A and B are shown apart, each in its own frame.
Chain A
Amino acid sequence: MKTAGSWRFTTLGILITAMAVFIVIQMLRIQISPQADALRDKGELYSGTWRTLTPARGQIYDRWGHLLAGNNTVYEVGVILSEVENPSTIALAMNAVVDSDYDEVLAATSTEASSEAVYATLARFVTEEQKLRLEQLAKEMATAYGNRKDKNRPSLAGLTYDPRLRRSYPEKDLASNILGFVNWEGEGFFGVEERFNIELAGNPQRVWVPFDPNRVEELPDNPEGTSLILTIDRTIQAELEEIVESTIKDTGSESTTILVMNPKTGDILGAATSPRLDLNEFWRYDEIFEDSTPFNRAVSETYEPGSVYKVLTMAAAIDGGAVKPKTSFLDTGSIEVGGTIIRNWNSGAWGPQDMLGCMQHSLNVCLAWVATELGANKFYQYMQDFGIGHITGVDLAGESPGHLKLPGDGDWYEADLGTNAFGQGVAVTPIQMVMAVSALANEGQMVFPRIVLSMIDNGKQYNTSPRSSGSPISPETAQKISKMLATSLEVESSDALVEGYSIAGKTGTAEIPTPYGYTSSQTNASFVGWGPVDDPRFLVYVWLEKPSTSPWGSVVASPVFRQVVERLVVLMNIPTDEIRHQLVEGQ
């Protein structure tokens, strides 16, 4: 039975059904249209966010586990533009608390919020104290002006704080030349930080984090970067740095570098130089290291070592059989090598000498003769075996290889054999000298200098082992040269001697080459020594650049060596020779 208005219901039904069919068709069309994938991707984009999980940078410790480089929390302060109520208040607060530029912050916070402009970064690396101060200010403003309805009420609404980790150095400038620093971008510069940047930084991972809690996924395990235990002893390093400072003050030298190594293992126990930088304020680098000053002179700066190099020449000659400790030489005050006349440091003739006398009086003429007796080929082979002219491979960034001219090179002349014999015309770094001399102190076995003692990765500690870098000389030669140098210091009553301890060593005074030849007004004064002679525990290298109180290594460098050794024997628990021998006998 049809009623009068039933056609209306029929029409409405058809219309609604048609609309439903149309909606379904449209849905299907959208699903299978060519734009469907792009639309789906766009939708997916808004369903979460990509996050980079940056692991904490690995820590750096000294050999006893004292933290030298760690991490602390800092904040990135930004604004959500749509929530900003008063840009000038934010600019004022940021200027007062974080020292940000008022105009820059005002410009950033005044940006109109849009789909393109959502968030603006105002400051990075804001400390916890600064962040708390900003939060306090925001709270105070909300309490004082929160009820006011006017548009210009003071407000810090919109500020956000995003925490992150930043490198921190609890010891400030201690061992700064060894550690290096990490810049704003988290990249290591200089020293261990640069050399092991990849290991320390760990593996940052980029992950998709959905906003929908139903789609939450397990975040990947993100272990912190590899931690390092260095061979450095914090207390020895602090003592060395104190001595460096006082030496610069007392001698007027441009810089002072002191290296202390265990000659048996190659462990660098301390390496102090100048200038140093508080690593927590690494942005002052340009201000402190002016005119391309090397960050660590111990590994990066080459110089002509002068007479300390004679220990290598004499060791090579004795080992090569060219001379013996008792071989006599008549010093007439000059010798001609390759057409160049070589004279002694005082231009004097020292008469008949044995090799001990030659080393004791540091006679250039005698050492040039010794090198000619050995012969150029053998001499340079020994120098290469000692590692001169090559990097040592120490675990620090920016090591320089130095320069050793060899027979056959375009810039090598026969005269170089004579001058190289006493450390002129050859460029070395302090770390090279330390490695070379380790052969003399360690019974002929040369060791690679080592800075990294252990690595800690994924909860496991991996210890490194001392590595030999060859045997350029025999144990007998090493013993002979040690004995010669110990006697030489005793006979001279050198300022380097430390009461109760047998020390072997040699001073060095090198004129500095200039475009106009060598200048004797400015010198490199140095001292290399080790002890106790019968059981060496330390090898110390001292280098003073351009001292003004005296140009002589024996006057300015020897006392510094003594000062270092006096502290080392205490810090390393080394009894005097007499007590040590008694203790050994008592065992």
Chain B
Amino acid sequence: MYKVQSITQAYSQAPWRKQLQWIGLFMLALILAAMVAGIYLSVSAQASTAGREIQIMYGEMEEIRRNIEDSESQLAILNSNAVMEKRAEELNFYPVESAEIFYILVPGYIDPGQVSLAKPPGVTIPKTATISPEYTESLMEWLSERVFNPASSLVQEVEP
């Protein structure tokens, strides 16, 4: 019995050593947790910043749209019939009479026809989700997506 105890004692680690191991393990877990928390915090901060920027941009878009409407109305006021008539009078123009008009035949002249006011098409951008999932999903969602479905990041849905 004594012999067994001696052997056990001889091969067991010193209590301070065990404590050190536990402390080491605890510190390792703590560092890992801190790292995860740090990454999470960093990604969250970036997502928040991006989200805030998006909110600001939506506000700017609205303001730009209002400015365009304002500018169009302002331009129309400057070119209104009354203003144009006044400007013409100031420049000594006067309404022409029928007898004063000289008509000539212009071969090949094509009537321009009906006015077209539809805005010209802009650069065609494929309609994709404006906000990338990176800004909306949590770190856990992001990790599980990458771990369990690593190929998904290579595929992007594009609407025709």
Residue in contact with A168 in the complex, picked from B50, B65, B67, B73, CB distance below 8 Å? B73
A64 touches B119 (CB 8 A): no
Write out the residue numbers on chain B whose beta carbons fall within 8 Å of the beta carbon of A549.
none
Closest to B58 in A: A219
Segment 6-54 of B: residues with Cβ below 8 Å from A: 44, 47-52, 54
Interface size on A, residues (CB 8 A): 53
Indicate with 1 or 0, residue by residue over B84-103, a CB within 8 angstroms of chain A CB atoms: 01000000000111100101
Query: For B73, B96, B97, B121, which residue has the most chain A Cβ atoms within 10 angstroms?
Result: B73
Chain A stretch 529-587: residues in CB contact (< 8 A) with chain B:
566-567, 569-570, 573, 575-576, 579, 583, 586-587
Asked whether B101 lies within 8 Å of A570 as measured between CB atoms, the reply is yes
User: Is A217 a contact of B131 with CB atoms below 8 Å?
Assistant: yes
Per the 8 Å Cβ criterion, residues 444-461 of A in contact with B are 453-454, 456, 459-461
A72 and B69 contact, Cβ closer than 8 Å, known pairs A171-B82, A214-B47: yes
**One of B48, B67, B98, B118 near A461 (C-beta < 8 A):** B118
- Interface: A218 (CB within 8 A): yes
Smallest distance from the beta carbon of B2 to chain A beta carbons, Å?
Answer: 24
- List residues of chain B with CB within 8 A of the CB of A583: 103, 105
Q: At the interface, yes or no: B143 with Cβ under 8 Å from chain A?
A: no
A215 at the interface (CB under 8 A from B): yes
Question: In the complex, A215 Cα to B116 Cα: how many Å?
Answer: 42
How many angstroms between the C-alpha atoms of A229 and B114 in the bound complex? Answer: 10
Please indicate the chain A residues that have their CB under 8 angstroms from the CB of B55 in the complex: 213, 216
Q: Is A61 an interface residue when CB atoms closer than 8 A count as contact?
A: yes
A310 at the binding interface (Cβ < 8 Å): no
Q: Are B66 and A163 in contact (CB under 8 A)?
A: yes
- Check A214–B44 contact: CB distance below 8 A: yes
Q: How far is the CA of A72 from the CA of B73 in the complex (A)?
A: 7
Known: A170-B77, A214-B48, A216-B55. A570 touches B96 (CB 8 A): yes
Does B70 belong to the interface (CB within 8 Å)? yes
Q: Which residues of B contact A570 (CB under 8 A)?
A: 95-98, 101
Chain B residues, CB < 8 A from A420? none
Known contacts A463-B114, A569-B98, A576-B98, A66 near B73 by CB under 8 Å: no
What is the CB-to-nearest-CB distance from B52 to chain A, in angstroms, rounded to a whole number?
4
B129 at the interface (CB under 8 A from A): yes
Chain B residues near A235 (CB, 8 Å)? 81
> Size of chain B's interface in residues, with CB distance under 8 A?
46
A71 touches B69 (CB 8 A): yes
A65 sits at the interface (CB 8 A): yes
Give complex CA distance A214, B37 in Å: 17
A214, A463, A566 pick with most chain B CB within 10 angstroms: A214
Shortest distance from the beta carbon of B39 to any chain A beta carbon, whole Å: 16
Minimum CB distance partner of B79 in chain A: A66
B130 within 8 A of partner (CB): yes
SS class, residues of chain A in contact with chain B: mixed
B145 at the A interface (CB under 8 A): no
Q: Does A227 contact B (CB under 8 A)?
A: yes
A172 at the interface (CB under 8 A from B): yes
Q: Is A63 among interface residues, defined by CB-CB distance under 8 A?
A: yes
Q: How far is the CA of A560 from the CA of B105 in the complex (A)?
A: 32
Cβ-defined contact, B103 with A575, below 8 A: yes
Does A234 have its Cβ within 8 Å of any Cβ on chain B? yes
> How far is B122's CA from A419's CA once the two chains are assembled, in angstroms?
63
Whether the pair B76, A71 counts as a contact (CB closer than 8 A) is no
Secondary structure at chain B's binding surface: helix, strand, loop or mixed?
helix
Q: Does B115 touch A at the CB level, under 8 Å? A: yes
Asked whether any CB of chain B lies closer than 8 Å to the CB of A165, the reply is: yes
Report which of B76, B103, B118 forms a contact with A67, defined as CB distance below 8 A: B76
B117 near A: Cβ within 8 Å?
yes
Interfacial chain A residues near B141, Cβ < 8 Å: none
Kindly state the separation between the CA atoms of A66 and B76 in the bound complex, as whole angstroms: 7
A212 and B58 alpha carbons, distance in the complex (Å): 15
CB neighbours of A463 from chain B (8 A): 114
Nearest residue (CB) in B for A566 is B98
- Complex contact A172–B48 (CB within 8 A): no
User: How far apart are the CA atoms of A238 and B83 in the complex, in Å?
Assistant: 12
Check B51 against A213 for contact (C-beta < 8 Å): yes
Docked CA distance A306–B44 (Å)? 81
Residue numbers in B under 8 Å from A171 (CB-CB) = 76, 80-82
Residues of B close to A219: CB separation below 8 A: 58
CB-based contact B79/A65 at 8 Å: no
Q: In the assembled complex, how far is the CB of residue B46 from the closest CB belonging to chain A, in whole angstroms? A: 10
Is A67 a contact of B114 with CB atoms below 8 Å?
Answer: no
Chain B hits for A70, CB < 8 A: 69, 72-73, 76
With both chains docked as a complex, state the minimum distance between the C-beta of B127 and any C-beta of chain A, in angstroms.
Answer: 9
Partner of A453 from B48, B52, B114 at Cβ < 8 Å: B114
C-alpha gap A459/B120 in the complex (Å): 8
Report Cα–Cα, A459/B63, bound state, in Å. Answer: 20
Contacting residue for B72 out of A67, A500, A569, CB 8 A: A67
Contacts of B114 in A (CB 8 A): 63, 453-454, 463
Q: For residue A343, give the distance in angstroms from its CB to the closest CB of chain B.
A: 41
Taking CB atoms, residues of chain A closer than 8 Å to B80 are: 170-172, 174
Give every chain A residue within 8 A of B118 (Cβ-Cβ). 456, 459-461
Chain A residue nearest to B50 (CB atoms) is A213
Q: Once bound together, how far apart are the Cα atoms of A407 and B88, in whole Å?
A: 58
* Chain A residues whose C-beta falls within 8 Å of the C-beta of B65 in the assembled complex: 56
> With an 8 A cutoff between CB atoms, is A73 at the interface?
yes
The residues of A that contact B44 with a CB separation of less than 8 Å are 214
Are A459 and B121 interface neighbours, CB within 8 A? Answer: yes
Nearest CB on B from A100, distance (A)? 23
Within the complex, which residue of A172, A215, A218, A453 is in contact with B129, where a contact is CB–CB below 8 Å? A218
- A177 interfacial by beta-carbon distance below 8 Å: no
A453 to B114, CA, bound (A): 9
Q: How many Å lie between the Cα of A59 and that of B71 in the bound state?
A: 13
Q: Are A64 and B66 in contact (CB under 8 A)?
A: no
Chain A residues within 8 Å of B72, by CB? 59, 67, 70
Q: Which partner residue on chain B sits nearest A457 by CB separation?
A: B118
A370 to chain B minimum Cβ distance, whole angstroms, is 37
State which of A67, A216, A234, A573 has its C-beta within 8 Å of the C-beta of B51.
Answer: A216
B residues at A contact (CB < 8 Å): 44, 47-52, 54-55, 58, 63, 65-67, 69-70, 72-77, 79-82, 85, 95-98, 101, 103, 105, 114-119, 121, 129-131, 135-136
A-B CB contact pairs (8 Å), 28 listed: A65-B115, A67-B72, A67-B73, A70-B73, A70-B76, A71-B69, A71-B70, A71-B73, A72-B69, A73-B66, A128-B70, A170-B73, A170-B76, A170-B80, A172-B80, A174-B81, A214-B48, A216-B52, A216-B131, A218-B131, A229-B115, A238-B81, A238-B82, A454-B117, A463-B114, A570-B98, A583-B103, A586-B105
9 tightest A-B CB contacts, nearest first: A213-B51, A170-B76, A67-B76, A461-B118, A216-B51, A70-B73, A213-B52, A71-B69, A170-B77
